[in-house]
A = this chain, B = another copy of it.
Amino acid sequence: MIIDIHGHYTTAPKALEDWRNRQIAGLKDASLTPKVSELSISDDDLRETIEQNQLRLMKERGADLTIFSPRASFMAHHIGDFNTSATWAAICNELCYRVAQLFPEHFIGAAMLPQSPGVDPKTCLPELEKCVKEYGFVGINLNPDPSGGHWTSPPLSDRHWYPIYEKMVELDIPAMIHVSTSCNSCFHTTGAHYINADTTAFMQCLTSDLFKDFPTLKFVIPHGGGAAPYHWGRYRGLAQELKKPLLEEHLLNNIFFDTCVYHQPGIDLLTHVIPLKNVLFASEMIGAVRGIDPTTGHYYDDTKRYIEAAKLTAEQRHLIYEGNARRVYPRLDAALKAQGR
């Protein structure tokens, strides 16, 4: 089975964006705030956007199941306050739940959290618990910078975040560390902010002893780990300067990288440098890079092609495609087993 651990509902019906725009307008003029009940999206609407997009491409490319979460760039935790995010997260998570209900063989949910800059992360716990316990979600997306490019929250190693980690450990779910839209003009969202956040999160873990406090906590760092694998020598050397254990012991029981790296040499480096038990298949399809690479004639984000072309044994590919996902997402494994898979 081929499990893509990183897909977002980037193709949701236009009604969702329209509702969000009204919600944002309501922040300036409360009379414009829409009710949740004013958003109406039918199962047929959902089916159409999925069948024509993600599911079509999954079938074409040969992926079986996607861990599916709300559109990352639309989380926009910097907009409004906690209540704004709470309402928005509930709507977006419910849509992913409905997609998973409609296509139970092909999609399973991961939650966005109702984060808001300066607000205690424990306010996210009710939404998190609902998504896991009622919706059957198997992971969360945790935004290390809800300010959207101003980086005003403490690092991930700070006790600020511990309520989330305690709940993750209790529920046995991993977090993908994933920022949202940048509202800092220095950072292009998908070209700089996403990749920087990956690198930053990795380094925040490296300098800390977070995983001594939470030995079973699991983070997935997306987009191939940002710059970390390319600079693995730098990170090994910095850990050494900081008198930390070897990275394998210090971080790699807890940190995992996905394969959202959109060319062969990048995937070759990732699978050569990082232990394969730490690499999980993903494409972030349909995401930031939607075009066809003129040098290959294939979609940039058809990452399965790179995994197929990498120097790997069948057993190693199985780890990347399925085995690691079942281990890192125990609730995914349980859900698959309940389906007889």
Question: Is A289's CB within 8 Å of the partner chain B?
Answer: yes
| Contact, CB under 8 Å: A265 / B269 | yes
Choose among B145, B224, B272, B290 the residue that contacts A231 (Cβ–Cβ < 8 A). Answer: B224
CB closest residue in chain B, given A263: B233
Question: Is A238's CB within 8 Å of the partner chain B?
Answer: yes
**A186-B261 contact in complex given A233-B266, A266-B269, A290-B241, C-beta closer than 8 Å:** no
Chain B: minimal CB distance from A226 (Å): 6
Choose among B191, B232, B301 the residue that contacts A263 (Cβ–Cβ < 8 A). Answer: B232
| Contact, CB under 8 Å: B151 / A186 | yes
Report how far A240 CA is from B296 CA in the complex, Å. 14
Chain A: number of interface residues, binned into ranges:
35 or more
CB closest residue in chain B, given A290: B241
| Contact, CB under 8 Å: B234 / A288 | yes
**A234-B289 contact in complex given A150-B150, A204-B186, A227-B227, C-beta closer than 8 Å:** yes
| Contact, CB under 8 Å: B185 / A238 | no
Chain B: minimal CB distance from A179 (Å): 11
| Contact, CB under 8 Å: B207 / A200 | no
With a cutoff of 8 Å between Cβ atoms, the chain B residues found around residue A273 in the complex are 263, 265
Query: This chain: how many copies in the complex?
Result: 2
Chain B: minimal CB distance from A230 (Å): 4
CB closest residue in chain B, given A195: B227
Chain B: minimal CB distance from A241 (Å): 6
| Contact, CB under 8 Å: A203 / B223 | no
Most buried by B among A223, A232, A262: A262
Choose among B185, B188, B232, B288 the residue that contacts A265 (Cβ–Cβ < 8 A). Answer: B232
| Contact, CB under 8 Å: B237 / A300 | yes
| Contact, CB under 8 Å: A230 / B227 | yes
With a cutoff of 8 Å between Cβ atoms, the chain B residues found around residue A174 in the complex are none
| Contact, CB under 8 Å: A155 / B186 | yes
Choose among B199, B238, B269, B301 the residue that contacts A289 (Cβ–Cβ < 8 A). Answer: B238
**A232-B266 contact in complex given A196-B200, A288-B238, C-beta closer than 8 Å:** yes
Choose among B150, B186, B187, B262 the residue that contacts A234 (Cβ–Cβ < 8 A). Answer: B262
With a cutoff of 8 Å between Cβ atoms, the chain B residues found around residue A17 in the complex are none
CB closest residue in chain B, given A200: B192
Chain B: minimal CB distance from A98 (Å): 29
Report how far A31 CA is from B187 CA in the complex, Å. 41
A146-163 contact mask (Cβ, 8 Å, vs B): 1 or 0: 000111011100000000
With a cutoff of 8 Å between Cβ atoms, the chain B residues found around residue A207 in the complex are 188, 191
Question: Is A20's CB within 8 Å of the partner chain B?
Answer: no
**A237-B224 contact in complex given A186-B200, A199-B196, A203-B191, C-beta closer than 8 Å:** no
Question: Is A293's CB within 8 Å of the partner chain B?
Answer: yes
- 29 A-B pairs with CB atoms under 8 Å apart are A150-B150, A151-B184, A151-B186, A154-B185, A188-B203, A188-B204, A188-B206, A191-B206, A191-B207, A191-B238, A192-B203, A195-B231, A223-B234, A229-B230, A230-B230, A230-B261, A232-B263, A233-B266, A233-B300, A234-B262, A234-B288, A234-B289, A236-B263, A236-B300, A237-B289, A237-B301, A238-B288, A265-B273, A266-B269
